Amino acid sequence: MIPKSGGDYAYIGEAFGNLPAFLYLWGALFILVPTGNAITALTFAEYILKPLWPECHPPTAAISLIAAIITCFLTVINCYNVKWVTRVQDSFTAAKILALLITFFASLWYLFSGHTENLQNMMEGTTTKPGSIASAFFTGLFSYSGWNFLNFVTEELKDPYKNLPRAIRISMPVVTLVYALANVAYFAVLTNDEVLVSEVLAVTFSEKILGKVAWIMPLFVAMCTVGSLNGAIYASSRLFFVGARNGHLPLAISLIDIRRLTPVPSLIFMCVVTLTLLISTDIESLMLIVSAVEAMFTLCSVAGLLWMRHTLPQKMRPIRVNLILPIVFLITCTFLVIFCFFENPIKVGIGIAFIALGVPIYLIFIQWSNKPKWLQSACNSFNITCSKMFLCIPEDSKEL
């Protein structure tokens, strides 16, 4: 029904109009995407450096520097060649699956050796407070945050009506099963206290069970994070490219390279924003803010689906789902957002306040049509400068 790139941005815009769509884009621009990328890059750096500092936490400056290097490296690859991006993604996805299989089979060997005591006490100390459950969901859901990336590049898919549902039906059950088995594996080998105090869980796991080859696990986890970061950079650049094409961001961000046809300004802008967020190493707080804001917009997106089922019942829908599924999803998202807010009002409130700040930004820079000539001239000069600097042009023209 909506064969557009942009994911939730396109869906919210189609259902509720320009302002809600812009607010999603605003949140994605400064919260969802760069913060998520920063978390992934920092995780990569921690796993790379932890074997060098086995008895203490690696230096914060070293973590931030390594995270910045991998962010810039993957941005360059995304700017240079899309085929390279897919090859990197395929390679590191294979590494991720291999790492998870090693984790699972190593834990099976541990269990068959007679060590079952950790699984028997796995749920010890569990709380049933709704707010704590919601916060735990958000922290866990961050691992699945790439589940909708394919929707951001719908226009680049071959036969999206056929391949998009197929990809979802195959990938979601496989990823859920593999991640669930990996978590069971961790709890089979490690005690609850070890899980709680460990800063890099895979390293603690490998040191306890893999012996002399324990170094292989942090290497595999680092490779997993590279794949995740690469996919996020690729998908998010298309989101902002579509937003700029619709007039919700500066025209410069919608420019594409004249030879490689990649959205270079969008990629570089997102890299710069991500680098500024690497100064924070409080990964848990960043995860909570990102997941809460993402859940709010996912709630809006699913509500839009239900709204369009009501307002546009006759419109052709090549991909249809049973209404029970989005209704259950909507209720779940509502529960998570409300109870997480009561559990962490300051952190979630920061995210909500920043989204609200997008309203005056929209009114001034998007809706206000009679802008002063000096402002229009400044915007045009900026767009032309970016076009010349990056050798880029608008998607549908030969010249700026």
Distance in angstroms (rounded) separating the CA atoms of residues 11 and 312: 14
Q: Which residues contact 304 (CB under 8 A, 6 or more apart)?
A: 11, 12, 14, 15, 16
Looking at mean pLDDT, say which of 155-169, 249-263, 275-289 comes out highest. Answer: 249-263
- Higher pLDDT: 178 or 1? It is 178
| HSE-CB of 269 using CA atoms within 13 angstroms | 24
Q: What is the pLDDT of residue 65?
A: 93
Residue 318's identity, in one-letter code, is P
Strands 256-257 and 392-393: antiparallel
What mean pLDDT is predicted for residues 169-183? 85
* Helix, coil or strand: residue 281: coil
Where does the pLDDT of residue 146 fall: very low under 50, low under 70, confident under 90, or very high at 90 and above? Answer: low
Yes or no: say if 253 and 238 are a contact pair by the CB < 8 Å rule: no
pLDDT digits (tens, 9 = 90+) for 289-309: 888 888 888 889 889 888 888
pLDDT digits (tens, 9 = 90+) for 326-364: 899 889 888 888 888 888 888 888 888 989 999 999 998
Where does the pLDDT of residue 397 fall: very low under 50, low under 70, confident under 90, or very high at 90 and above? Answer: low
Q: Which residues contact 137 (CB under 8 A, 6 or more apart)?
A: 336, 340
Count other C-beta atoms under 10 Å from residue 262's C-beta.
20
Q: Which CATH number fits domain 8-393: 1.20.1740.10, 3.40.50.150, 3.30.70.260, 3.40.630.30?
A: 1.20.1740.10
Where does the pLDDT of residue 75 fall: very low under 50, low under 70, confident under 90, or very high at 90 and above? Answer: very high
pTM of whole model > 0.85? no
Q: What percent of the chain has pLDDT over 70?
A: 95
Q: What is the pLDDT of residue 359?
A: 94
Q: What is the pLDDT of residue 281?
A: 62
Where does the pLDDT of residue 129 fall: very low under 50, low under 70, confident under 90, or very high at 90 and above? Answer: confident
- Higher pLDDT: 393 or 400? It is 393
What mean pLDDT is predicted for residues 101-108? 86
What mean pLDDT is predicted for residues 128-155? 75
Chain-wide mean pLDDT for the chain?
83
Residue 100's identity, in one-letter code, is L
Count other C-beta atoms under 10 Å from residue 145's C-beta.
18
DSSP letter string over 292-306?
HHHHHHHHHHHHHHH
pLDDT digits (tens, 9 = 90+) for 225-275: 898 899 889 878 877 878 888 888 888 888 888 888 888 998 998 999 999
Yes or no: say if 33 and 253 are a contact pair by the CB < 8 Å rule: no
Residue 293 Cα distances to 28, 164, 354, angstroms: 9, 25, 10
Q: What is the pLDDT of residue 1?
A: 58
Q: What is the pLDDT of residue 23?
A: 94
Indicate whether 52 pLDDT > 90. no
Q: What is the pLDDT of residue 66?
A: 94
Q: What is the pLDDT of residue 237?
A: 80
Q: What is the pLDDT of residue 71?
A: 95
Indicate whether 110 pLDDT > 80. yes
Looking at mean pLDDT, say which of 22-36, 42-56, 161-175 comes out highest. Answer: 22-36
Indicate whether 399 pLDDT > 60. no
Looking at mean pLDDT, say which of 181-185, 198-202, 354-358, 367-371 comes out highest. Answer: 354-358
Indicate whether 98 pLDDT > 90. no
Distance in angstroms (rounded) separating the CA atoms of residues 395 and 392: 9
Indicate whether 400 pLDDT > 70. no
Where does the pLDDT of residue 99 fall: very low under 50, low under 70, confident under 90, or very high at 90 and above? Answer: confident
DSSP letter string over 104-154?
HHHHHHHHHTT--HHHHTTTTT----HHHHHHHHHHHHGGGTTTTGGGGGG
What mean pLDDT is predicted for residues 178-189? 87
| Alpha-helix residue ranges (DSSP H) falling in the chain | 8-16, 18-27, 33-49, 60-80, 82-112, 117-120, 130-141, 160-189, 192-197, 201-209, 216-245, 264-277, 283-311, 324-343, 345-362, 373-390
Q: In the numeric block, which tokens belong to residue 127?
A: 């709380």
Q: What is the pLDDT of residue 7?
A: 77
Distance of CA 283 to the CA centre of its chain: 14
Which residues are registered as beta bridge partners of 257? 392
